[in-house]
Copies of this chain bind each other. A is one copy, B any other.
């Protein structure tokens, strides 16, 4: 396997865009990405698209050639990858693997979701399809309910508090307010977060990520060709995708995601680094409790210490281990299929020193973690400066 680099990145803003469609959003991100990597669409050798539910949200299937052909990309493998909320991460994983193995040199990966055109009950129904429909979903276990159970159990096992959950929301809103592409650029106080409208106890509206439209794209190339496209190549040091059961009832312990733990182990081993070496991370905070579980599963802290660590400010921009400097899914937004690819863009922006008001002081080694459903798919990527 040869080293692979991200040589171009592109994102749309995340938000509610009633006048934009699925294809238009993807094409915007993809064009920005190809311009960033200084290549024409006709040079793309394969197109990997992460999309969770375009058919359900917008009626359109067969999205990869539909989008690619509209940009002038034809005669190449153009394929949609679906792995629930990890659809973008899964498309990225498969694309990186293909370039690493020498199947292609120049690969375009995009992720997209257009969610806000559906009414809220329909959005909830579509999102619930990522869980076990005949099991937990049938008895009311929508994702807020499932993550509320995870939070409740985490509180019971480890003494995690509502204030600690709320501290994650406060931090991510504070970061997102400085991100020009974020969906909700609004600073909130701990008091506001605690007083949020209940969604599924103990989670309030401030513990839940957003329903968003948006797209993100990255261009991949072998590291030894990266200089043809950019002087700011970002190297993929480690990456893994793993799987687990869909339903919480099939798991021995609902306060941890084995798919993330094992993907992280593999990615760390591939990169030859430890959790302590990671300088910053973008993690999958679909709910505040998910960020706390993520920093535990990634080994940033011991099991059960995610809450106190967050509440102590350790994951803030100025903390020892900044998490979700971009604002995370909570504030930046969560257009499902775009999320995993967007995280790679955000980590790359930091490594390239282009993160603007969000630029971290230590930004040479970053990690992205993308979670599907309540843990059936996990993708972990470790990125670093190429030089």
Q: Residues of A with Cβ closer than 8 Å to B?
A: 1, 21, 47, 52-53, 55-56, 58-66, 68-69, 73-84, 90, 93-94, 97-98, 100-103, 129-134, 241-246, 250, 258-259, 262, 372-373, 376-377
Report the bound CA distance from A84 to B73 in whole Å.
18
CA distance A80 to B80 in the complex (A): 8
Q: Given the interface contacts A79-B81, A81-B81, A101-B103, does A69 sit within 8 Å of B129 by beta carbon?
A: no
Residues B103 and A245 in contact, CB atoms below 8 Å apart: no
Residues of the B chain whose Cβ atoms lie less than 8 Å from the Cβ of A81: 79-82
Can you give 21 contacting A-B residue pairs, CB < 8 Å? A52-B61, A58-B133, A59-B133, A61-B130, A62-B82, A62-B83, A64-B83, A64-B377, A65-B244, A65-B377, A66-B376, A69-B245, A69-B246, A69-B376, A74-B259, A76-B243, A78-B377, A80-B82, A82-B82, A94-B94, A98-B98
A134 to B117, CA, bound (A): 15
CB-CB nearest in chain B for A375? B65
What are the residues of chain B within 8 A of A64 when measuring CB–CB?
83, 243, 377
Q: Is the CB of B66 within 8 A of A246?
A: yes
With A74-B243, A80-B81 given, can you name 8 additional A-B contacts, CB distance below 8 Å?
Answer: A62-B129, A68-B243, A74-B259, A80-B82, A82-B82, A94-B94, A98-B101, A101-B101
A90 / chain B contacts, CB cutoff of 8 Å? 77, 79
**What B residues does A242 contact at CB under 8 A?**
74-77
- Residues of B near A69 (CB, < 8 A) are 243-246, 250, 376
In angstroms, Cα B66 to Cα A250, docked, is 11
* Minimum C-beta distance from A259 to chain B (A): 7
Task: Report how far A79 CA is from B241 CA in the complex, Å.
Answer: 9
- Tell which of B58, B73, B75, B250 touches A259, judged by Cβ atoms closer than 8 Å: B75
CB neighbours of A131 from chain B (8 A): 62
A280 to B44, CA, bound (A): 34
The docked-state distance in angstroms from the alpha carbon of A80 to that of B132 is 16
Q: B246 and A129: CB pair below 8 A?
A: no
From residue A243, how far is it (CB to closest CB) to chain B in Å?
4
Query: How close is A166's CB to chain B, nearest CB, in angstroms?
Result: 29
Task: Report the 9 A-B pairs with minimum CB-CB distance, sorted nearest first.
Answer: A101-B101, A78-B243, A65-B376, A62-B84, A65-B243, A61-B129, A77-B241, A69-B245, A80-B82
